[in-house]
Amino acid sequence: MKKILLVSHCLLNTASKLKSYDASEMKAEDSLRKEIIKTAVDNDIHLLQLPCPEFLQYGYRRWGHTYDQFNNVFFRERCREMLQPVILQVKEYLENDTEFEIVGVLGIDGSPSCGVKYTCRAPWGGEFSGRDVTDVLHSCHLEEGSGVLMESLKKMLEEEGITLKMEGLFAPEADRALAMVSK
């Protein structure tokens, strides 16, 4: 039986990630990302790559965003559009359950889109020019909760009567992600 794990886009393509200036934080995440991929391959787990709504909406030269900015009907609808082909693939695999098993979904914790256990929150919005935005920018924080894409994915799966285990890749809690790819 072939095992399949749905993964956030940047797990396989870090070129889509927001440019980071915290090298130590990214080093720990990148090390765990590589361990996850190697373990998945070693355990013959196939990886189905989810779309990256942030890259598809704003490209590489985007600013960082927060859950609060993406939590709107327009972004949620765009996520649903991007996820529709994924839902069809999941349904097809599940209809052939003697050959395929979907082991779950692995997101990227801290992401306003792909967070599963943690997301990035701040009441950002409005014009940058003509004001000191230091306090606004410093209001950004990690908070328990899922990102908008993962919320949309979970809702779409539920609408189809599908429940999948969901975890997030988060270097300080590496065991959660590693459990998704370990036998």
Residue-by-residue pLDDT tens, the chain, 183 positions: 999 999 999 999 988 988 776 676 688 889 999 999 999 999 999 999 999 999 999 998 888 899 999 999 999 999 999 999 999 999 999 999 999 999 999 999 999 999 999 999 988 777 777 777 777 777 788 899 999 999 999 999 999 999 999 999 999 999 999 999 996
- 106: number of CA atoms within 13 Å, CB side? 31
Whether 157 and 163 have beta carbons less than 8 Å apart is answered as: yes
pLDDT for the residue numbered 21: 64
pTM value is: 0.93
pLDDT for the residue numbered 176: 96
Distance of CA 87 to the CA centre of its chain: 15
pLDDT for the residue numbered 77: 97
* Mutual angle of helices 148-159 and 73-95, in 10-degree steps: 50
pLDDT for the residue numbered 137: 75
Q: How far apart, in whole angstroms, are the C-alpha atoms of residue 104 and residue 168? A: 11
